[in-house]
């Protein structure tokens, strides 16, 4: 399988200042660029020495072949050939030590840890406080009673059970039953139907994937601590359907006529949430296992940023159709994820938090993942294959949408009204 670094070393050679600037904007040390360039120079110098030694070895071998007394020529020149062979082996070993393109070398691993280059349109900023609100949907409801959190509503209605889930699996799990399970299923079916109407191909991918698949989509080694895995089988439980959907066309060359490729899947997702100790310890917002509908695009490079706007609107429209209060946020440089060149977050209003909470993250990863997974396309019949751009976004997370529906549509008597667009899927207009 052909595998490439996430950032192209040719780009770093050609425009190192751009890479330094992107790292600084993310709050990272740009000196790694100089380290990579020095190693790359050593690598190319060693390769040059190998090629010169091979050419000299070939010249001497040819001279032996052309000599009138080949045996005498071989006896005279063999020590030079042996010396050159030893030099070639030594310089090839030196090249491997400094390689930034050969898999597994220290410098290649360092290169693979560099985040994607930010698009110039991404706003400056160090953390979420510098994110930019772009627009809102309906405003949050003004309750004429004290709204309850979803866990209290759910337990009173008998549709949400955390204590029995803890008995089965420990903390950060939930059991949905009756109308709760039916509402979750209604949301998933509704989201999938809307994606199908918009031309997405529905996929039911494996939930266990190889280490290579996780690496190819940028989950490893950066996010290894957040993953559940079977170390004996060397398989990982997917943290999001983005992983198998993006890698589905790995090591393939697509025809330009296929683009854009649009996939959708509804899968369970599994995350250790290792970095979230003490956060959202109650309720459905942060679970080890949750269902999510994921949208993934493969596009031509010149179409990817327009595709990001479309993808985001597709996810946003689901919140609008559910008539949930939400806002669209453009992430600043310091808050943009490792794989992404640009990201929009969709945040839904959660009354129990008195705040907007993320429910979808829509990102253009440019060719960052495609380089690792080797997903290419041929612009025309005679063109050299080029890397596609990959995009992904939640459309939407089922558990967090369930939270938003329960809390925003609750009534004084503790019942929950079902949003109009969901009623045909749910089979009723109310829980309780």
Secondary structure of residue 21 in the 3-state scheme: helix
Q: Is position 361 annotated as part of the catalytic site? A: yes
From 352, 360, 361, 394, the catalytic residue: 361
Contact 160, 175 (CB under 8 A): yes
Query: Which of these is catalytic: 56, 87, 92, 358?
Result: 358
- Sign of the CA dihedral 199, 346, 364, 339? negative
**DSSP 8-state code for residue 302:** G
Residues 6+ apart with CB under 8 A from 45: none
Nearest to 114 by CA among 26, 7, 29: 7
Residue 137, Cα to own-chain centre: how many angstroms? 27
User: Is 358 an active-site residue?
Assistant: yes
Strand partners, 350: 355
In whole angstroms, what is the distance from residue 37 CA to residue 32 CA? 9
**Catalytic residue from among 94, 286, 313, 327:** 286
Name which of 272, 284, 301 is nearest 388 in CA terms: 301
197 has catalytic annotation: no
Catalytic residue, chosen from 182, 271, 371, 372, is 271
Separation of alpha carbons 260 and 368, rounded Å: 17
Residue 286: active-site member: yes
Residues 363, 231: Cα–Cα separation, whole Å: 30
Task: Give CA–CA dist 413/256, Å, rounded.
Answer: 57
Tell me, yes or no, if 38 is annotated catalytic. no
Q: How many CB atoms lie within 10 A of CB 338?
A: 16
Q: Which residues are catalytic?
A: 271, 286, 358, 361, 400
């Amino acid at each position: 399988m052909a595998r490439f670094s996430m950032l192209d070393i040719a780009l770093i050679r050609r425009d190192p200042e751009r890479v330094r600037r992107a790292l600084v904007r993310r709050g990272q040390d740009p000196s790694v660029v100089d380290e990579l360039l020095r190693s790359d120079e050593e690598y190319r110098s060693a390769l040059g020495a190998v090629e010169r030694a091979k050419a000299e070895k070939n010249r001497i071998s040819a001279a032996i072949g052309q000599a009138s007394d080949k045996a005498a020529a071989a006896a005279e020149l063999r020590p030079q050939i042996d010396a050159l062979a030893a030099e070639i082996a030594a310089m090839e070993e030196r090249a491997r030590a400094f390689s930034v393109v050969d898999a597994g070398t220290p410098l290649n691993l360092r290169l693979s840890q560099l985040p994607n280059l930010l698009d110039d349109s991404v706003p400056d900023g160090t953390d979420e406080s510098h994110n930019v609100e772009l627009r809102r949907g309906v405003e949050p409801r003004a309750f004429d009673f004290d709204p309850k959190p979803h866990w209290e509503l759910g337990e009173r209605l008998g549709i949400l059970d955390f204590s029995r889930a803890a008995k089965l699996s420990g903390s950060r799990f939930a059991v949905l039953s009756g109308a709760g399970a039916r509402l979750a299923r209604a949301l998933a079916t509704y989201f999938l139907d809307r994606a199908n109407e918009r031309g997405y191909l529905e996929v039911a991918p494996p939930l266990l994937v190889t280490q290579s698949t996780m690496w190819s989509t940028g989950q490893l080694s950066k996010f290894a601590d957040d993953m559940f895995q079977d170390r004996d089988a060397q398989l990982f439980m997917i943290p999001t359907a983005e992983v198998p959907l993006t890698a589905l066309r790995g090591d393939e060359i697509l025809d330009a006529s296929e683009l854009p490729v649009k996939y959708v899947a509804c899968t369970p997702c599994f995350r250790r949430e290792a970095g979230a100790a003490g956060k959202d310890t109650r309720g459905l917002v942060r679970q080890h296992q949750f269902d999510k509908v994921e949208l993934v695009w493969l596009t031509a490079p010149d179409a990817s940023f327009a595709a990001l706007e479309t993808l985001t609107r597709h996810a946003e429209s689901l919140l609008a159709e559910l008539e949930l209060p939400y806002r669209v946020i453009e992430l600043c440089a310091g808050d943009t994820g490792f794989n992404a060149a640009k990201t929009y977050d969709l945040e839904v209003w959660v009354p129990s938090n008195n705040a907007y909470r993320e429910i979808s993250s829509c990102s253009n990863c440019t060719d960052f993942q495609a380089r690792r997974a080797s997903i290419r396309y041929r612009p025309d019949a005679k063109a050299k294959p080029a890397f596609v751009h990959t995009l992904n976004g939640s459309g939407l997370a089922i558990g967090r949408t369930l939270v938003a529906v329960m809390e925003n549509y609750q009534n004084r008597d503790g019942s929950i009204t079902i949003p109009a667009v969901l009623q045909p899927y749910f089979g009723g207009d109310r829980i309780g």
